[in-house]
Amino acid sequence: MKIHFDFDTKHFESSEAVVVAAYAKKDGGVQLSWSDAQLKKEFAMAKSSKNFKAAAGTTYGFTCSRMSDVIVIGMGEKTKAKAEGIRRATAAALQAVSGNKYNSVAIDAASFNAINKLAETASLINEALIMTGYKFDKYFKEAQKESFKDICIYVSDKKVKKQIEKVEESSRNLADSVNFCRDLVNEAPNVLHSEEYAKRVEKDVKTALKGKGVKVKIMGKADLKKENMNLFLSVNAASAYEPRLVHLTYTPKKVTKNTKHYALVGKGLTFDTGGYSLKPGGSMMGMKFDMGGSATVYGAFRAAVLNNSPYKITCILGMTDNAVSATGTTPDSIVKGRNGLTVEILNTDAEGRLVLADCLDYACDQKPDYIIDAATLTGACLVALGSQVCAVLGNDDKFVKQVQDSAKAQDEYMWQLPIIPEWREDMKSKIADLKNIGTPARAGTATAAAFLENFIKDDIKWAHLDIAGVCDSQSHLPYCPPKGASGLMVRSLHKLLNG
């Protein structure tokens, strides 16, 4: 599917199908902010059009005298319209015109513009088209047919041409990075093990981010040993593959002593069997997505760099699988982490926090102003917040609020959970500094965060995202595949890093 922006009505008129949006009026009528006067007239003339009230989620179709099919997307009331409405309506539009029926489709951006910003509307349409058009179909014997070849976002006002050029690129960078994240998460774990994962990220940095000021450092088992990252190594102990710590640094073109430095840290468990504390078969299914946190922060890093973030950004991805073998770490083991704290590992299935612990300590040594980590860390997150809401916890309420505001600006759900002294106490061991699980079935998401907090030093402002719920199967969002990776939170973090 090729998407292009067009300012020429000819292109709009010659398309096989035309998509226009309509808003519902309070009096039961419809409001049409369409660029094409002729279309409006023909809509009014069509007998059945009076039955169409433009409620959100409804569509209406007719054929105009130019012989193109017209698909009208109902948007609901304009006063209630938000950016998310435009994303969802675009996804509905794409669904409505898919199915090998049309070679060319044009979307009238102005008709969707409920937020009074035409360039931003066009940008949202582009973003939603790229996200909705995503497919993970590389493993089928026969390539899936493209729904159609060409889709045109028609912008009727030439005055916004300059703005459009900018947002066309930035929205594509963002949505492509969401899709890049999805591809990594969807990849099979027998293919995407730690060594392959690191290679793929490195290759992407060297191609997509070439000349953008990004440096790559990849660390293996020997390097982690030198760094005393024994908690990370304990998770890798049963693996057939070497662990990988991918360390990326981005330096913007202009740096002053006031330039802020963000560090992103991601859990990259390419598969989580649970280890000796083995998961039952049903719960193990889908655990290829346990590297979703790292794919999310890499996706955000990628988009931020492509869109020339003004901040210095460090990105640290901790990659391994949590396998089972004779060399695996047994429950009851006591292991000393990079920061010198000892951990009694009572459950080898609480492995993500062990990898993150050493990665967070390593991140602190890069002297960032802020650290944000993302991880599919706890099943408890799904119990607390369902599969639609991302949990955020941290050591600085103001910073957490800033992260939440970025999520809100992108219409992604993020809710704060507390870390209280009692839960910090719950993570203390009787025979070591810490233990890796708290009281069973009690505040699992927050006790995990209380554990991680021990590895943040120098009072660096830190926010932890538990994406266990939102990482996949977002079937309520029409621009996400109903099954498989969602790519959610890439947009929120991009917002934080690029404003």
Q: How far is the CB of 202 from ligand BES (least distance, A)?
A: 25
Q: How far is the CB of 317 from ligand BES (least distance, A)?
A: 16
Q: Which of 195, 290, 358, 472 lies at the binding interface for Zn ion (CB under 5 A)?
A: 290
Q: Which is nearer to Mg ion, 175 or 345 (CB)?
A: 345
Region from 71-79, 238-246, 371-379, 481-489 binding ligand BES, contact rule CB under 6 A:
371-379
The tokens describing 404, both together, are 């939440």
Q: How far is the CB of 328 from ligand BES (least distance, A)?
A: 15
Residue whose C-alpha is closest to residue 463's, from 261, 315, 298, 264: 264
Q: How far is the CB of 231 from Mg ion (least distance, A)?
A: 14
User: Strand 312-322 vs strand 261-272: parallel, antiparallel, or unpaired?
Assistant: parallel
Residue 468: which of Mg ion, Zn ion, ligand BES, none does it interact with, CB under 5 to 8 A by kind?
A: ligand BES
Site string for ligand BES, 463-482 (x = CB under 6 A): -----x--------------
Q: Which is nearer to ligand BES, 211 or 280 (CB)?
A: 280
Residues 220-279 that bind ligand BES (CB under 6 A): 272
Q: Which residues are catalytic?
A: 279, 353
CA distance 279 to 297: 26
Q: Which residue is nearest to ligand BES (CB)?
A: 379
Q: How far is the CB of 290 from Mg ion (least distance, A)?
A: 7
Q: Which is nearer to Zn ion, 290 or 373 (CB)?
A: 290
Residues 344-363 that bind Mg ion (CB under 5 A): 349, 351
Region from 23-31, 341-349, 361-369, 432-440 binding Mg ion, contact rule CB under 5 A:
341-349
Residues 256-285 that bind Mg ion (CB under 5 A): 272
Q: Which is nearer to Mg ion, 321 or 349 (CB)?
A: 349
Region from 106-114, 155-163, 312-320, 372-380 binding ligand BES, contact rule CB under 6 A:
372-380
Residues 268-327 that bind ligand BES (CB under 6 A): 272, 290
CA distance 221 to 219: 7
Any idea what the Cα angle at residue 279 is, between residues 348 and 224, rounded to 5°? 35
Q: How far is the CB of 287 from Mg ion (least distance, A)?
A: 8
Site string for ligand BES, 411-450 (x = CB under 6 A): --------------------------x------x------
Q: How far is the CB of 294 from Mg ion (least distance, A)?
A: 15
Region from 12-20, 121-129, 266-274, 437-445 binding Zn ion, contact rule CB under 5 A:
266-274
CA distance 48 to 62: 9
Q: Which of 6, 69, 176, 272 lies at the binding interface for Zn ion (CB under 5 A)?
A: 272
Q: Residue 45: which residues within 8 A CB-CB, separation 6 or more? A: none
Residues 333-362 that bind ligand BES (CB under 6 A): 347, 349-352
Contact flag: residue 466 with Mg ion (CB under 5 A): no
Chain position carrying tokens 């991302």: 390
Residues 3-22 that bind ligand BES (CB under 6 A): none
Burial class of residue 202 in the structure, from the number of CB atoms within 10 Å of its CB (0-12 exposed, 13-18 middle, 19+ buried)? middle
Q: Which is nearer to Mg ion, 246 or 356 (CB)?
A: 356
The tokens describing 371, both together, are 């650290």
Q: Which is nearer to Zn ion, 167 or 381 (CB)?
A: 381
Q: Which is nearer to Zn ion, 36 or 290 (CB)?
A: 290
Q: Residue 314: which residues within 8 A CB-CB, separation 6 or more? A: 247, 248, 249, 250, 261, 262, 263, 264, 363, 366, 368
Residues 352-371 that bind Zn ion (CB under 5 A): 352
- Give the strands of the sheet with 414-416, arranged side by side: 214-219, 244-250, 312-322, 261-272, 370-375, 461-466, 390-394, 414-416
Residue 378: which of ligand BES, Zn ion, Mg ion, none does it interact with, CB under 5 to 8 A by kind?
A: ligand BES
Q: Which of 213, 220, 331, 379 lies at the binding interface for ligand BES (CB under 6 A)?
A: 379
Footprint on this chain of Mg ion (rule: CB under 5 A): 272, 349, 351
Residues of the shown chain interacting with ligand BES in the complex, contacts defined by CB under 6 A: 272, 290, 347, 349-352, 376-380, 437, 444, 468
Residues of this chain that bind Zn ion (CB under 5 A)? 269, 272, 290, 352
